[in-house]
Structure 1
Amino acid sequence: MNESSCPATKTAAKAHALPLFSLLPKRLSSLVSLCASVLLLSSCGGGGGDGGGGGTPGLISGGNNTWQAGVYKPSDNFKNYCEKPRVGASKITGIPFPDRKGNATQEKNFLRSWSYETYLWFEDLPDVNPDNSDTPQNYFRRLVSDKKTPSGSYKDNFHFYEPTESEEAWSAGITYGYGLHLKINWEVPRTIQVVYADSNSPAANNNVKRGAKIIAVDGLNISTMNANALFDALYPPQINAVHEFEIQDAGTNNTRKVILESASLPTEAVSIAKAIDHNGSKVGYIQFNTFIPDAQDQWVTAINSLKNAGVTDLVVDMRYNGGGYISIAAQVGYMIAGANTNNKVFYQNVANSKMPKEDPWGFVDVGLYGLNKSLNLPTLNLQRVYVLATEGTCSASELVINSLRGIGVSVYLIGDTTCGKPYGFLPEPNCGTTYYTIQFKAVNAKGYGEYSDGFIPSTTDNGMDRVKGCSVADNLTYQLGDSNEPLLAAALQLRATGICPTASTRGQQKVSVDVEQGELMLPPTRRLMIQDR
């Protein structure tokens, strides 16, 4: 491992069931149940429930708790005191539940104190009386800054929670569903299209491919279906859910019906890794979907394969990668750039004024998980990399871009502006719910980390938010990894000629209106940059 080494990482297995979804790039709300509902944050820090932030300061009784405006007891005083304590142990990790009998006010007192202790913008937090009628989850929704950036967007677009079991399942690489990844256009007539399907999934086994449109579910047209019922059918929160889908495959006018049964699936972090012959040399291509612990071994396999193939350049397709663990990002950076990362800073954690300053993280050159734990990682030792991106490229994905640029590795960005999330979390489980509040900002070795409006493909690189590359629309007509797929084709052309495809060239490629307007259906819980503990 490099001298600027990574902090100790989580050893407990964790992770995900995909029960709830948001649409990028809307402002996220909390997740409120296992049904597929989406709430946009329309009022943060006020309104609803008793004793809101605008109440008269005073001393209020709350069971075994007291509240006084501006006075915060240590969060440890309230942690794991639960209104409905769980019994037994997690079926994902096997760790016994720490819950003790308490009440909802204690749960809210915990959230109030913990947020004030750790939130990056704690000075913006409303002080809401926890002895009110809110559920702990709805109370947590209030504990967020409502300030806006100069561009007019909220400072905090990423405040949410999820069932702890879902968080544990995701980190453990478990997904419930059909292996479908989708885009949706809500305009009438509503359209839903497949962006890709996981290998060996129920969807793939029924030949459902990128570009297919979902026309109806269980005999009901998607345009007339209730949104909750539609989400529940598309992403069931359990296995063995059976639904009939009427689909129209890309390039056809006819529809067909398929029966899909949800299953517990291994998360496919790396879907494709291959060498492409281009202009007399070999270019590596990796479709990379999520930064979970299992991604480490999948990247090791991919890099070894590409090294054996003799690739001299690399295209990393992160157009649908919402992020994940910083430790995996630090490994990915090393496996791309190798010796160029020696003794270099991967990122610096900038927390609030109450938190002690941490040492910088270095790039990670040894395995931290799985089959390659404690083994040296392979690397391509590249001084440049081509990244395919969309608004679905978020968080830890953006961290890789920023960190490599911070040490002088040339990054070329092809596609669209990324989601804009330089912020991270230390997920906090309490009483069966895991809460995510922004606790730090990540800056690179050059001190840059203000990309809250995303990285933008540009004709020049300003070392900040504008990254040299090509602006190209995502096009579902072509399969991922196809050299003719517009983003990949643009990367290959830029590499060979230094010139992006022209507008007329792009105009020759078939792009449907609903592809351009569709938004990636991505769980808000998976737009993450998690600092491993």
Structure 2
Amino acid sequence: MKKFQYAINGMALSALALVLSACGGGNSQVLGPKPADTGGNGDNNGWVAGVYRDADTFKNLCEAPRSGRSQFTNLTFPDKRGTRTDEKNFLRAWTNETYLWFDEVTDRSPTIDSQTPQDYFLLLKTNRTTSSGAPKDNFHFYEPTEDAEAWEAGISYDYGFRLKVYSSTPPRRYFIAYVEPGSPAATAGVQRGDRIMKIDSYDLVTEESNAGLMALNEGLFPSELGAAHNFELQAVDGSSKMVSLQAGQIESKTVLHSSVIDTDSGKVGYLVFNSHVEKSQDEWVTVISQFKFAEVSDLIVDLRYNGGGLLSIASLASFMIAGTNVQDKVFYEQIQNSKQPRLEPFPFLDEGLYGLNKNVALPSLHLNRVFILSSESTCSASEAIINGLRGANVEVFLIGATTCGKPYGFYPEDNCGTTYYTIQLKGANAKGFGEYSDGFIPSNSDNGTTRVKGCSVEDDLNHQLGDSSEAMLATALRFRATGNCASAVTRSQQKTQAEFNNGELILPDTRKIMVLDR
């Protein structure tokens, strides 16, 4: 049976706390003892520190070769019979060739049989820190290739709801952030803002037994397709409801919602954009075409739950926002390590690359400003939209919370059934700015770098996405009309902001990245 891309890696049973994280993100794996390096003198298997062969020499040489085809790409697996050391030699050479800070990586022996390729990969990064003491590279991940391909196809394996957690220790507070249309959760009547109270016979709010925590984790993130669990939910109005959910294959809608909002000063387009994958292009084309027909005069793009994805989609979406205002301008300057050739700047793409609109001119609203809703889950390719548009002198207003701060790009590398993510480039906009590792901050004024004019507003789970009373959207509409943040939400909405403060959307770290098309 298909295993799920979400799982619990860090259940702190000794602390009797329910701790959620995503599998596949290698930073959450438990590492064994570090291998003993030979100090550069070689070992019995011929390894010599600082001496590398071409990565292609070891590519697709696998300890356990796969057979057949990918269910998502229909491509035959390229695996050949090899060894565990071959897999690690590939990672070692590939890192040395492409990693942005390759000269800061300690060269370690790949010949220790007890060490998996995945554990070895986790060591292949810089250990230096920033001026604040934070790790310089905090974005070093891997996951099963099957999960990577499923995400690229817009497929997940679950109930079809996304969680936002405000406390993972008793009394726990787990809420539904949004629901995928047509999913088991949607069919059962699960809604944004519902709080999960119980799963099967276990109380999610207060449970402290080891057996209970294990059962709750399995209920939230089932390990197999078809698994069924009973949920007791508390709706926004305080009422209780019982639903039975069966895990399935969910096809995500990356533009989750779109609508046209009538205001006294014209029509405003609003869209919720949750992931940068290939199918997003055609979904954007459909929505932008509808907005053009409706003659919207402004646009609000809700990126609060968008962890990133393909840079090409960020570029296409940005063109569809700004059109002639960014035509033939630089969207993203790609900076690689000193071993790699200089790349041509990434432009604002005005023709489709994928699906039904491949090689077709894209529609655009030709706007010179845009309002973006953000949160700490707004990452990578989503931040590239903010940075790229500002670099081309399109005015961006930021409503919400400080973004997550990931100005780096990846070429995901599939080898022997695992997809590896290592930082291979950083980027800058047309004005040369790209250092936003602490995120973009909604501020009273715009300083051209990390501070973006706008308003700080917390997520509001008491209202559905697209409801003009929802705090972020209400603030954006009021700010558009008056330029004022302070009066943008009502007293009841301010209470909502206090209730839903500092929540975390449960999303794997491998979904908070910027992926570069080869």
Q: With structure 2 as the length reference, what TM-score do the two structures score? A: 0.92
1-structure distance, mates of 2:395, 2:418: 41
The aligned residue for residue 19 of structure 1 is 6
Relative to 1, partners in 2 of residues 1:502 and 1:35: Cα closer, same or farther, differing over 3 Å? closer
The aligned runs of 1:187-226 (5 Å cut-off) are: 187-222=169-204, 223-224=206-207
CA distance, structure 1, for counterparts of residue 488 and residue 370 of structure 2: 24
Residue 335 of structure 1: aligned partner: 320
Q: Aligned pair count?
A: 500
- Residue in structure 2 matched with residue 236 of structure 1 by the alignment: 222
After superposition, the Cα gap between the structure-2 partners of 1:274 and 1:177, relative to the gap in structure 1 and judged at 3 Å, is same
- Inter-partner Cα distance in structure 2 for 1:96 and 1:358: 30
Separation of aligned partners in 1, 2:158 and 2:28:
27
C-alpha distance in structure 2 between counterparts of 1:92 and 1:43, whole Å: 30
Q: Provide the residue aligned with 1:444 in structure 2.
A: 429
**For residue 75 of structure 2, what is the amino acid of its counterpart?**
I
- Equivalent position SS for 2:296: coil
* Equivalent residue in structure 2 for 1:259, among 238, 241, 244: 244
Partner of residue 71, structure 2: 91
- Cα shift at 1:514: 5.9
> In the alignment, is the contact (CA less than 8 A) between 1:22 and 1:521 conserved in 2?
no
SS in 1 for 2:325: helix
| Residue aligned with 2:91, SS | helix
Note closer, same or farther for the CA distance 1:221–1:317 as it changes in structure 2 (3 Å cut): same
Displacement after TM superposition at 1:175 (Å): 1.5
CA contact (8 A) 2:255 2:284 kept: yes
- Aligned residues of 1:314 and 1:386 also touching (Cα < 8 A): yes
User: In terms of mean alpha carbon deviation, does 331-340 or 475-484 score higher?
Assistant: 475-484
Q: 1:176 aligns with which of 153, 157, 166?
A: 157
State the alpha-carbon separation in 2 of the partners of residues 41 and 233 from structure 1.
Answer: 21
Note closer, same or farther for the CA distance 1:37–1:343 as it changes in structure 2 (3 Å cut). Answer: closer
Pairing of 1:263-412 with structure 2 (within 5 A): 263-412=248-397
Identify the match of residue 57 of structure 1 among 40, 44, 64. Answer: 40
Q: Deviations over 1:420-460 (max 9, x none)?
A: 00001000000000000000001100010000000000001
SS in 2 for 1:161: strand
Secondary structure of the residue aligned to 1:154 is: coil
Structure 2 residues not aligned, in runs of 5+: 11-20
CA distance, structure 2, for counterparts of residue 102 and residue 364 of structure 1: 41
Contact 2:323-2:364 at 8 Å conserved across structures: yes
214-223 or 503-512, larger mean C-alpha shift: 503-512
Q: Which residue of 2 aligns with 1:142?
A: 123
Amino acid corresponding to residue 140 of structure 2 in structure 1 = H
Distance, in Å, in 2 between the alignment partners of 1:167 and 1:70 is 32
Q: Check whether the contact 2:8–2:23 (CA below 8 A) recurs between aligned residues.
A: yes
Q: Give, in whole Å, the separation in 1 of the partners of 2:517 and 2:25.
A: 28
2:471–2:493 contact (8 Å) kept in structure 1: no
- Does the 8 Å contact 1:80/1:431 carry over to 2? yes
CA distance in 2, matches of 1:74, 1:189: 54
Q: Any conservation in 1 of the 2:443–2:453 contact (CA below 8 Å)?
A: yes
Unaligned 5+ runs, structure 1: 1-15, 24-33
Name the CA distance, whole Å, in 1 between partners of 2:276 and 2:104. Answer: 31
Tell me the alpha carbon deviations over residues 124-172 of structure 1, each in whole angstroms, 9 at most, x when there is no partner.
1121111122111111111122222223322211110000011111111
Among 122, 135, 151, which residue is 1:154 paired with? 135
CA contact (8 A) 1:21 1:521 kept: no
Matched residue SS, 1:204: helix
Supply the distance in 1 between the matched residues of 2:461 and 2:312 (Cα, whole angstroms).
Answer: 32
- My pick for the range that moved more, 149-158 or 451-460, is 149-158
Structure 2 counterpart of 1:107, which letter?
E
Task: Give the residue type in structure 1 aligned to 2:486.
Answer: P
Q: Once the two structures are superposed, what CA deviation does each residue of 1:301-336 show, in whole Å capped at 9, x if it has no partner?
A: 110111111110000000000001111111000000
C-alpha contact (below 8 Å) 1:173/1:292 kept by paired residues: yes
Q: 1:77 aligns with which of 57, 77, 85?
A: 57
The secondary structure found in structure 2 opposite 1:510 is: helix
- Determine if contact 1:17/1:169 at 8 Å carries over to the other structure: no
Measured after TM superposition, the shift of residue 231 of structure 1 is: 4.1
Say yes or no: does 1:465 pair with 2:450: yes
Distance 2:351 2:268 in 1: 25
| Deviation of the 1:178 alpha carbon | 1.3
Superposition CA RMSD, Å: 2.3
Query: Matches of 2:9 and 2:261 in 1, distance apart?
Result: 35
Structure 1 residue 57 displacement after superposition = 2.3
Residue 25 of structure 2 contacts residue 510 of structure 2 at CA under 8 Å; is this kept in 1?
A: no
Structure 1 distance, partners of 2:187, 2:377, is 26
Give the Å deviation of 1:176: 1.2
Change (3 A) 1:427 1:443: same
CA contact 1:321–1:393 (8 Å) conserved in 2: yes
Q: 1:478/1:454 Cα in 2 relative to 1: closer, same or farther (>3 Å)?
A: same
- Counterpart of 1:443, as a letter, is A
Please give the secondary structure, in 1, of the residue aligned with 2:506. strand
- Per the alignment, residue 109 of structure 1 pairs with 89
Runs of 4+ in 1 over 6 A off after TM superposition: 41-44
1:269 is aligned with what amino acid? Answer: T
SS of equivalent to 2:242: strand
Map of 1:124 onto structure 2: 104
Mapped to 1, the partners of 2:488 and 2:318 lie a distance apart of 32
What CA distance in whole angstroms lies between the structure 2 residues aligned with 1:306 and 1:93? 33
